[in-house]
Structure 1
Amino acid sequence: MTSPRGLQEWMDTLAEQELPTLNAVVREICELSEDEKCRAEDLTKIILRDADLTSKVLKIANSVHYNPSFASIKTVSRAIVHLGFDNLRNITLATTLIDFFLQGKPKLQLIQSLARSFHAAVQAKAMVPFLDGDKKEQVFIAALLRNISELALISTGLPLVADFIDARDQDPQAEHSLALEFLGVDTSLLSRHLIKDWALGDLLSEACENHVHSSAAARAVNLGNQIATYIQRGIKSPEMTKLCQQTASLCKLPLEQAQQQILLMADEASVVAKTYGLDVLISALPDPEHLDAKEEPPQEVADYLFQQRLNQIHKAMMAGDSLPKVTQLSLAALHEGAAIARLAILFVDHKTKQLDVRYVAGKGTHLWRQQIKINLEQLRKGELLHEFLRHQEPYWYQPRLGQKDVGALQIMGATGGLFLAPLQLNKRLLAIAYADGERSTLNARQFEEFQLIANQLNLMMRLSAAP
């Protein structure tokens, strides 16, 4: 069989795949009526006709990203009231799209492509608060779909496509010429035709045109896409240095702050993937520990670094930044400023009775989100975590003192000391702050600083939940 070549042959090939089924659902979501009442009812019907989609949408709607007040959302209609129509529509669209491409046993190339798209969406969305207008979710979806042609091509399973993707990944800047060589069509042109056929929106069309005078939102979409393409080369690589400068210019930020934002969002991509139930993408998303090679600070600098990081947290809280951002800054304060080797925030899933790792810091922690789940119903009476949950007070475990059996926490792999602290709202345990020295002991000063940060997070949760 001759491989497709040229725009029309590829469009015909894609039309023969299962993509038209996805197209119908995506179009239905995108073309909902402008009438407030009708579109809410129509979106509710689309979600409710698929039990699995309903469950996923409600889980995402109850996450800290979309529901910082922690008010329980049990129905789709309540989710629309609480989150707004646009937010819920875009959650539904993203969930539908990603589930479609990940069905069955997706190839590594497809997982990597989806991971890049997801990372691009998180990076682009983070730029919106610095721009004119409030288009966070529109920008998120546009960046997620920016490379829709690549996802569609990979889903065909054709060897020619795999060869093209391999060659392109080796030299992303040569994508146009490689696409013409392997496929006979530019992938951007193919994307534009798919976007038009699927009626995916003006912002996405504008981003794919990539004009010099594009809107700020379209530029954010394309910047997010480029960051996701080159970030694995390191934040100080020539490509990322240029992209950091462009981000600083677009968002009117100092260069150092733009770099910090990009690194935070690189980690946030894994958190959001976890929120969407996309654990399979985490191993293909960037590990911040590999992106920013830091030199060990002199001792006199290290001594004041914790105070500097604490000041950043206070500024973020005063500026009204989100709980996820404050959480990331908090772990950075303990990892970099208090020299604690590894940290994590484990959320309590009261429905499944599990501890689920969301935020991490430290070498080797990136995949904890994908690998570690602790079943609370299987804890043994007397083991460390069982006793901690019974008392719910900050705790310092020191192996040399022959304290409680570590039990389920052995999965974290620490052989030195560890800290635990409860994160609560109205006396309800929402998460556990965890820290360890890996193979090293921890000291009293670190425990005090750990408790200080835990108290800050408890305060931030109360502020987020306040009406």
Structure 2
Amino acid sequence: MASTTDTLPTRMNGTRAWVDYLSKVELPVLANTLRRINELTDSNSSTVNQLAEVILNDAQLTSQVLRLSNTVFYNQTRTQVGTVSRAITLIGFDAVKSMAISSLIVDTLLARSERSHLLKCLARALHAAVQARCLLPRRNEQALEEVFIGALLMNIGELAFWSCDTEQADELEQRLGQDEPAVAAQKTVLKTTFAEITRGLVEAWALGPFIRDVVSAGRPNSKAASLVRHSVELARLSESGWRGADMDKLMETLGGELEEAPATVRDQVRINAGEAAKIAVSLGIPQVQALLPGADTGAEETTKSPQPAAPDPELQLQILRELAECLTAKPDINQVCQLVTEGIQRALGMQRVALLMSDRSGTQLVPRKVLGLETEGWRDGFVIERNRKTTLNRLLSDHECTLYKPAKDAQRAGFDPWVGKVPALVGPLMAKGRIVGLFYADNAGAGSAPSAGQLTAFSHFVRHAQLCLTLLSVS
């Protein structure tokens, strides 16, 4: 909860109060990140790079996305994926976007609370999302991920509420434990319902027209939205078993919509439930497996903790192989440079990486790609003037990859407390004997200078970007 609790109402009453409280006090970072991801569309390479940067700036999120990228659920070719950039290229923009959203939801909410109601809601949301994705007929990538996220977020108001440590959460939990009807208890304690809070959050967080249709009070406007609602109902009913009057009726309804026999649909949804249990493990939430039908099918998998930032020789080789594959096809400088910056950050264990390129005037090098924490000021401030003698101009003194060692009297750059003041790896990109780009990487305030081995690996990565630039200049 916020530290300025004295300025907040002691109780939230009504939909607007809860939407404001969840959006501005409890979950502003989640709201802003979801909004930013949803604003991205796969229209060109720049948005692909923006999605990669959103993911790569969160080590836990990167680990989750790559783990999911190597599951059969998303990657049926079983081609090993070692970088976020490669995942977007191989698996698809919308699929990686879906992984990022689901990972953010799970990690953010579970970091705040382990209430039994939150775990139950997460299990139901994940189960519904997998069912919707697996049941969707006439599939294309965008539609698959749209229904997955639609089902995952259909009850985002309830998920957000149970992640918060409030007196009203304790009070509602007590009432539900006494078997009071859920909606009646919500109206008494919250002066609204979870459904209304969800609709408010969908608008406030700009989650898009499809999810707005899914959570609306009226009839859905599309078969996909109808499937999402049925998948959420299916996940709820399955908690009491696969048989029963309500479940049988739902199987009939789904069979009609999917043009399949109800018995065929029943067999399929049971298989899908087992897949949901495996996805729970890949998302790092094995604690919800016991709440999912078919949880035993995923028992053979184990979770992996995200690796600390340290040089990873195997990952270096994997990314270098991916770079080589990119260069054997038609070279794409954006894709190659994205792989290089990601490789420097993840495989070398460097905390912050930037690629600077010449502006149109040719008088400045300006940021094109930035990765790492505490680099907010780099996009506007990390500018090297060619014709001025500054600390930053010392980064241009060599025409080969080098370890920059700051002079004793070096002045820090005004946009950052460490650039210019700490050792860094620097690698130029050349064209006709002139520096047209620069890769920069440092460890911020960690106090550790890059090693000779890191410099060697850094040089290998930069060499691939230089080769791509050279190939394009002669083609």
Query: What is residue 262 of structure 2 aligned with on the other side?
Result: 255
Query: What is residue 410 of structure 1 aligned with on the other side?
Result: none
* Contact map agreement 1:120 1:144 (CA 8 A) in 2: yes
Whole-angstrom CA distance in 1 between matches of 2:301 and 2:100 = 26
| 1:179 Cα deviation from its structure 2 partner | 2.4
Query: What is residue 35 of structure 1 aligned with on the other side?
Result: 43
Q: Amino acid of the residue matched to residue 66 of structure 1?
A: Y
Whole-angstrom CA distance in 2 between matches of 1:4 and 1:81 = 45
Query: What is residue 285 of structure 2 aligned with on the other side?
Result: 278
Distance 1:15 1:345, change over 3 A: closer
Query: What is residue 127 of structure 2 aligned with on the other side?
Result: 119
Whole-angstrom CA distance in 2 between matches of 1:149 and 1:104 = 15
Once the two structures are superposed, what CA deviation does each residue of 1:80-99 show, in whole Å capped at 9, x if it has no partner? 11011111111111111110
Query: What is residue 92 of structure 2 aligned with on the other side?
Result: 84
Query: What is residue 142 of structure 1 aligned with on the other side?
Result: 150
State the SS of the aligned residue for 2:71. coil
State the SS of the aligned residue for 2:40. coil
1:266-305 correspondence to structure 2 within 5 Å: 266-287=273-294
* Contact map agreement 2:69 2:81 (CA 8 A) in 1: yes
TM-score normalised by length of structure 2: 0.57
Whole-angstrom CA distance in 2 between matches of 1:164 and 1:345 = 37
Whole-angstrom CA distance in 2 between matches of 1:167 and 1:121 = 29
| 1:11 Cα deviation from its structure 2 partner | 2.3
Whole-angstrom CA distance in 1 between matches of 2:168 and 2:302 = 43
Whole-angstrom CA distance in 2 between matches of 1:113 and 1:184 = 21
Whole-angstrom CA distance in 2 between matches of 1:122 and 1:219 = 15
Whole-angstrom CA distance in 2 between matches of 1:171 and 1:226 = 20
1:399-414 correspondence to structure 2 within 5 Å: none
Query: What is residue 103 of structure 1 aligned with on the other side?
Result: 111
Distance 1:30 1:272, change over 3 A: same
Query: What is residue 391 of structure 2 aligned with on the other side?
Result: none
Whole-angstrom CA distance in 2 between matches of 1:87 and 1:151 = 23
Task: Say whether 1:153 aligns with 2:161.
Answer: yes
1:172-211 correspondence to structure 2 within 5 Å: 175-211=182-218
Query: What is residue 231 of structure 2 aligned with on the other side?
Result: 224
Q: Amino acid of the residue matched to residue 197 of structure 2?
A: L
| 1:196 Cα deviation from its structure 2 partner | 0.8
| 1:233 Cα deviation from its structure 2 partner | 1.6
TM-score normalised by length of structure 1: 0.58
Q: Amino acid of the residue matched to residue 187 of structure 1?
A: F
| 1:46 Cα deviation from its structure 2 partner | 0.8
| 1:348 Cα deviation from its structure 2 partner | 12
Once the two structures are superposed, what CA deviation does each residue of 1:294-336 show, in whole Å capped at 9, x if it has no partner? xxxxxxxxxxxxxxxxxxxxxxxxxxxxxxxxxx8xxxxxxxx
* Contact map agreement 1:227 1:240 (CA 8 A) in 2: yes
State the SS of the aligned residue for 1:233. coil
Distance 1:72 1:221, change over 3 A: same
* Contact map agreement 2:110 2:163 (CA 8 A) in 1: no
1:236 to 243, 251, 254: 243
Whole-angstrom CA distance in 2 between matches of 1:121 and 1:151 = 14
Once the two structures are superposed, what CA deviation does each residue of 1:84-124 show, in whole Å capped at 9, x if it has no partner? 11111111111111100111552222111111111111111
Q: Amino acid of the residue matched to residue 163 of structure 2?
A: S
* Contact map agreement 1:263 1:288 (CA 8 A) in 2: no
| 1:137 Cα deviation from its structure 2 partner | 0.9
Q: Amino acid of the residue matched to residue 23 of structure 1?
A: A
* Contact map agreement 1:64 1:70 (CA 8 A) in 2: yes
Distance 1:179 1:214, change over 3 A: farther
Whole-angstrom CA distance in 2 between matches of 1:170 and 1:188 = 21
Query: What is residue 67 of structure 2 aligned with on the other side?
Result: 59
* Contact map agreement 2:186 2:194 (CA 8 A) in 1: yes
The runs of 5 or more residues in structure 1 that have no matched partner are 290-327, 329-342, 353-467
Whole-angstrom CA distance in 2 between matches of 1:250 and 1:166 = 39
| 1:184 Cα deviation from its structure 2 partner | 0.9
Whole-angstrom CA distance in 2 between matches of 1:87 and 1:152 = 24
Query: What is residue 212 of structure 1 aligned with on the other side?
Result: 219
Task: Say whether 1:48 aligns with 2:77.
Answer: no
| 1:238 Cα deviation from its structure 2 partner | 1.9
| 1:50 Cα deviation from its structure 2 partner | 1.7
The runs of 5 or more residues in structure 2 that have no matched partner are 1-8, 308-475
Give the percent of matched residue pairs that are identical in Structure 1 and Structure 2: 30
* Contact map agreement 1:130 1:251 (CA 8 A) in 2: no
| 1:6 Cα deviation from its structure 2 partner | 1.0
Whole-angstrom CA distance in 2 between matches of 1:121 and 1:165 = 25
| 1:187 Cα deviation from its structure 2 partner | 1.9
Query: What is residue 264 of structure 1 aligned with on the other side?
Result: 271
Distance 1:254 1:130, change over 3 A: farther
| 1:134 Cα deviation from its structure 2 partner | 5.9
State the SS of the aligned residue for 1:135. helix
Distance 1:66 1:132, change over 3 A: closer
Q: Amino acid of the residue matched to residue 115 of structure 2?
A: K
* Contact map agreement 1:131 1:216 (CA 8 A) in 2: no
Whole-angstrom CA distance in 1 between matches of 2:172 and 2:248 = 27
Query: What is residue 428 of structure 1 aligned with on the other side?
Result: none
Distance 1:16 1:25, change over 3 A: closer
| 1:42 Cα deviation from its structure 2 partner | 0.3
Whole-angstrom CA distance in 1 between matches of 2:195 and 2:227 = 17
1:11 to 16, 19, 38: 19
1:94 to 102, 120, 123: 102
Query: What is residue 409 of structure 1 aligned with on the other side?
Result: none
Whole-angstrom CA distance in 2 between matches of 1:64 and 1:130 = 19
